[in-house]
Amino acid sequence: MKESKLVSAAKLREFCKAAFLRAGLTEANASASADNLILSNLRGVDSHGVVRLPKYIKRLQAAGMKANPRIQVERKSPSAARVDGDNGFGLVVAKRAMEEAIHLAGPTGVGVVTVFNSDHFGAAAHYAMMALEKEMIGVVLSNVTPVMSVWGGKGAFIGNNPVAVAVPCLKAWPVVYDVALSKVAGGKVRLAAEKGENIPSDWITDSNGVPTQDPTQFEKGGSLLPLGIKGYGLAVIVEVLAGVLAGSRILDEIPFWAQHLSEPAGLGHFMLALNIGTFVEVDYFKQRMDYLVDRIHNAPRAQGVERIYLPGEIEHLTEKQRNENGIPIPEAVYASLMAMAGELGLRAGELDGSLI
């Protein structure tokens, strides 16, 4: 494995924000977008962190998406709304949409928001976790460009559509489930390619539909493999809720945002917030969640297993460790950030000062 640089979260966030400001984002949008990327890296989801920053900047510069969209929210009922993202940066659009879902769930108990005309929004967990601060459960779905085979099919035909759910606890950390519905997220394949590493042979196929350990084949006409027939089936359902129901583009109507930099992606999202207090007393719910967590932690362990984890637990522990010790940035990713900084007019000294 190639070496990595350890970077403080605060310094890396400053650098990301500066880059977003140079790309035209407002102070608020630049700050929120930087927070989004850094949280991914802190939680160990490096495939959705700063590795994506150079592509986001190029896409903003190519006008494939708007830095500061005029997001339109149309209320459909006391508990439902539809959001037009105005071809905006997905990190900005999705944040506004989840804020609306949480707002609707306050008095009604349930807030449902569909989103169309959006763009790539990073890690779905970030938006689901927004509900935690308001004593709510957050659920987030999105469709994406087709990079995954359908069950029994050949070639990229459907998106590895993400599903995220965040649930608050009392003393334990939140249960956070965030998955793509392929065997592995495409960002992890690209990250492996950036780092010059091989991947497991059941992650992707090449352009001929043959499994490969070479991650560079993904960008040469390859496709992700679905997480079995169940993952494929869920991908279809997400396409329905975040695509057809939202009125967004679906399947091959969606161009690949990282390659077709000047083309609108037209992605759709589905946001759901559940106000726990509407259904059951909040502290009681959290106590029961702690009991559930404790029971699972103490479930009988298979031979050789030292610890049982719940969804989001490893990410929580990684966030704590990286906040203390820094975020590892692979040399290749660091080099791409430096190159981007030069293109944006950020002096090399400013870059080094921001990251080290």
Using alpha carbons only, give the angle 12, 347, 24 rounded to the nearest 5 degrees. 70
pLDDT at residue 16 greater than cutoff 90 = yes
**Is the backbone of residue 251 left (phi > 0), alpha (psi -120 to 50) or beta?**
left
pLDDT-based confidence at residue 352 (cuts at 50, 70, 90): low
At residue 179, φ and ψ (nearest 5 deg) are -135, 150
pLDDT reading at 60 higher than 50: yes
Six token digits for residue 287: 């106590």
Burial of 274 (0-12, 13-18, 19+ CB in 10 A): buried
What pLDDT, on the 0 to 100 scale, is given for residue 272?
A: 98
pLDDT beyond 60 at 1:
no
299 close to 157: Cβ distance less than 8 angstroms: no
- In this predicted structure, what is the pLDDT of residue 259? 87
The pLDDT value given to residue 2: 55
pLDDT for the residue 35: 96
> Model's pTM, two decimal places?
0.90
The amino acid at residue 304 is: G
| Residue 73 bridge partners (DSSP) | 83
Averaged pLDDT, 38-61 = 95
- Asked if the model's pLDDT at residue 322 lies above 70, the reply is yes
